[in-house]
Amino acid sequence: MGYCYTRESGLFVLADGMGGHPEGEVAAQMALQVISAMYQQEAKPEIEDVEAFFKKAIMAAHRQILRYATEKGMLDTPRTTLVAAIVQNNVAYWVHCGDSRLYFVRDGELLARTRDHSYLEQRNDPVRQASLPANFNRNVLFTCLGSPSKPEFDQTGPVPLQHGDKIMLCSDGLWGTLEDSDIVYQLSQQPVAQAAPDLVERALLKAGDRSDNVTLVAMEWEMPNLFESTRGSIITESIDDGVFASTVQAGAWDTDADDLDDAAIERSIAEINEAIRRSAARKS
């Protein structure tokens, strides 16, 4: 996870590599780096079209993961979930793919939470309903970055922000252990600088030896000159135009939009499937 910001805009990103597939941590890191690199290129000092940026950035990250798998001759692809938010012009936008979540809390209430791309979460969606075997694990995700199929993702925003609003991005190691009500309560009772480590500690203690990785990044929105700022706040109005700050090492990724069309992605998928076919033929 990490965040980037300019004078007028902020990006928050969290990715969780998927188990059961190789090098999930590579896919997660790659997704963070690609999206951060594209944000740095386009936030001048804000993102002109956030919805279009999210679409392009997610497909760029997906394409880079597929390219990585192809170049290494992997028979299975690294995969990751993703959730990201952009805050600018007093509003928030967010996008997610998989089961990494975003929580939006105001005045002690949960105003919004992303809905996982799992059969369990989507069971009431008539578009996604399907006839499944009785023993099917409904927690299985039906989309992610890095899979041979084109990723599905959902976007929300713009959502107007008020002073004290809190936004948290987290992995399933947190929400899979703590109830939503507990998460909202902890976020509401303390500044995020205290609530975030407390939530991680609670999840780790409750899960014990069964704990998955617990990762989160959270922010609290403050209106300038309305109240005394929380200690440690970042006041972006003091940042010069053209200055970019980031906790993510962006890396030198090829994020050329012309190389991210459906045909290019299909070529990578075909190459992976051909490698699988050749491997199966050798074994037989």
pLDDT given for residue 258 in this prediction: 44
Query: With DSSP H G I counted as helix, E B as strand and the rest as coil, what are the percentages for the chain, rounded to 5?
Result: 35, 20, 40
**pLDDT tens, residue by residue, 118-140:** 877 766 555 555 555 555 554 57
Low-confidence ranges of the chain (pLDDT < 70): 122-139, 224-232, 249-284
- Could you say which DSSP state residue 115 is in? P
CA distance 144 to 187: 28
CB atoms within 10 A of CB 172: 21
CA distance 104 to 184: 9
pLDDT given for residue 239 in this prediction: 76
pLDDT given for residue 257 in this prediction: 42
Specify whether the CB–CB gap between 84 and 148 falls below 8 A: no
Please give the structure tokens belonging to residue 245.
Answer: 């700050």
Distance of CA 187 to the CA centre of its chain: 19
pLDDT given for residue 227 in this prediction: 53
CA distance 126 to 7: 43
pLDDT given for residue 112 in this prediction: 97
Please give the structure tokens belonging to residue 258.
Answer: 């012309």
Specify whether the CB–CB gap between 127 and 188 falls below 8 A: no
CA distance 258 to 120: 36
pLDDT given for residue 126 in this prediction: 53
